[in-house]
Amino acid sequence: MEISSIHKALFLLQILLSSLLVSSRLKTLKESSDTSLPSNFLFGTASSSYQFEGAFTSDGKGLNNWDVFTHKPGSIIDGSNGDIAIDHYHRYPEDIDLMDSLGVNGYRFSISWARILPKGRFGDVNSAGIKYYNKLIDTLLLEGIQPFVTLTHFDIPQELEDRYGGWLSSQSQEDFGYFADMCFKSFGDRVKYWVTFNEPNMLVIGSYRTGKYPPSRCSGSFGNCTSGDSEKEPFVAAHNIILSHAAAVDIYRTKYQKEQGGSIGIVVQAVWFEPTSNSTADFLAAERAQSFFMNWFLDPIIFGDYPVEMKKILGPTLPEFSSTDLKKLKNGLDFIGINHYTSFYIKDCVFSVCEPGPGVTMTEGFTLRTPQKDGVPIGESTVMDWIHVYPQGMEKMLTYLKERYNNIAMFITENGYGSENNPNSTIEEFLYDVKRVDYMAGYLDALSTAVRKGADVRGYFAWSLLDNFEWNFGYTIRFGLHHVDFGTMKRTPKLSATWYKQFIAKHKIVKSKMQESNEEHFQY
Ligand code: BGC
């Protein structure tokens, strides 16, 4: 036999073996999972403009903060950027076909602010950008897929950074309101789910405490930056973001919601914090950690003020809301979007002495965050050092939010598993993503338990539809249900896509298809 025939035979054998493994895996999972979610539940996949679209200067798009940041040497681990990303801008019809094949009824994506307002409110509207999102939205609706639209997922026009320092300036509130208004006016006749911000908690931590995200500001031992104030700026930026959210919601409520009939919320990164011991001090520390990480944003929006623990510890470092702010904040939100991936142990550092480590400073609330207790990890570790597989955390997180915020409607807006883009792996190894399947099965199981016990969760979006640009990690990590060959851009379903498809099929979800696209969209 010739060498090439041997190779061919081995390759076919490998495919045969992996497909046998795949079907046995699906069978066990099918038998073991006993989840049931309502038929009006939204099942979808999630994405974001910078991580997916590419086309970074096409058709009049302006530069945003990530375009500029990724082009600075040393910002991204593999020296890459999102200039092309996974070319979703050009390939969205093919990507919607993939969604259709999964059987989803929702797609979470974000709008590239600089694509529709290249210079924020200081320049013209880019009508090509508006046209792109109109086409994307219409194509989704023709397939019965609800657009779940985030206004900003970490990216802002660079113009706003250069003019007034982005989120550090209160001017950002006006710009965000202007942008939001433009989006409601242009797309709100068809978009029924709006998210103002993706993970403002991660945004301000990355941008102004550790300096790992643009505009790379930090101080002292928090990171390695040329300027910034890690102990102050995160709170200033957060305040402007909370008020920007309030401005957008105010505009939606007063000008659009009645007629358009949609709902509006915010998405936070929600990490479950488990007390390290059953001491009162550790229990209070876990509560405090939630306040300093997540309730920091949710409390002002839902209750009109920062969490008590933050006010007590931070004193005047925490900005105050004026009476006008409070009036705007009253509009709150219609739902909480939850990006939940992981859990940590929390140890108190007020009554006990802690070694330096994540969470221990005053600005983080004097708590030590660790992935293990007495040498035993909270869950299996992953290639992402912050993700530990702890499905119970999903139920605990949802129950916590249900109780704290009076069971307001919730969506899991992201949940997913990252694996290494090992250059030595074969395509079969990438496609046979058993760990991702196990992760999703476990977390969805915990989610449905929470729903059974009364949590008002209305949807789940897997992160992500496709492998994509993973921020500081570039293309070294793969989060997709579909493999993307970053050279050819070829998309191939992984085992997790097949599994998710079967999982969704079991739920017989409602899909209503728009009959035809109305070409007469709002004109500029
Ligand atoms: C972000 C995504 C990111 C994902 C995985 C989330 O915090 O919203 O943009 O890709 O985590 O790291």
Annotated catalytic residue within 199, 231, 287, 309: 199
- Is 414 catalytic? The answer is yes
Secondary structure of 188-254 as H, E, C letters: CCCCCEEEEEECHHHHHHHHHHCCCCCCCCCCHHHCCCCCCCCCCHHHHHHHHHHHHHHHHHHHHHH
- Provide the pLDDT confidence category of residue 145 given band limits of 50, 70 and 90: very high
Mean pLDDT of 139-163: 98
Does residue 53 have its Cβ closer than 6 Å to ligand 1?
no
* Lookup: tokens for 114: 């600089």
- Is 516 catalytic? The answer is no
pTM, rounded to two decimals: 0.95
* Lookup: tokens for 110: 């974000």
Which residue type sits at 111? I
Number of CB atoms found within 10 A of residue 114's CB: 29
Residue 484 has pLDDT above 70, yes or no: yes
Does residue 496 have its Cβ closer than 6 Å to ligand 1?
no
Q: Which is more confident, 212 or 513?
A: 212
- Provide the pLDDT confidence category of residue 11 given band limits of 50, 70 and 90: very low
Residue among 383, 471, 478, 484 to mutate when testing ligand 1 (max atoms within 8 A of CB): 471
Gap from CA of 466 to ligand 1 centroid (Å) = 13
pLDDT tens-digit series, residues 305-323: 999 999 999 999 999 999 9
Does residue 339 have its Cβ closer than 6 Å to ligand 1?
yes
Ligand 1 atom, smallest distance to 473 CA: 12
Residue 26 has pLDDT above 90, yes or no: no
Q: What is the mean pLDDT of the chain?
A: 94
Residue-level pLDDT at 19: 57
| Cα 102 from chain centre | 20
| Nearest residue by C-alpha to atom 7 in ligand 1 | 269
Helices (H), 85-220: 88-102, 113-116, 127-142, 158-164, 171-187, 200-204
Does residue 467 have its Cβ closer than 6 Å to ligand 1?
no
Number of CB atoms found within 10 A of residue 27's CB: 10
- 510 in Cβ contact with 491 (< 8 Å): no
Gap from CA of 33 to ligand 1 centroid (Å) = 26
Give the DSSP H or E segment for 410.
strand 409-414
Give the DSSP H or E segment for 495.
helix 495-506
Q: Which is more confident, 13 or 112?
A: 112
- Provide the pLDDT confidence category of residue 293 given band limits of 50, 70 and 90: very high
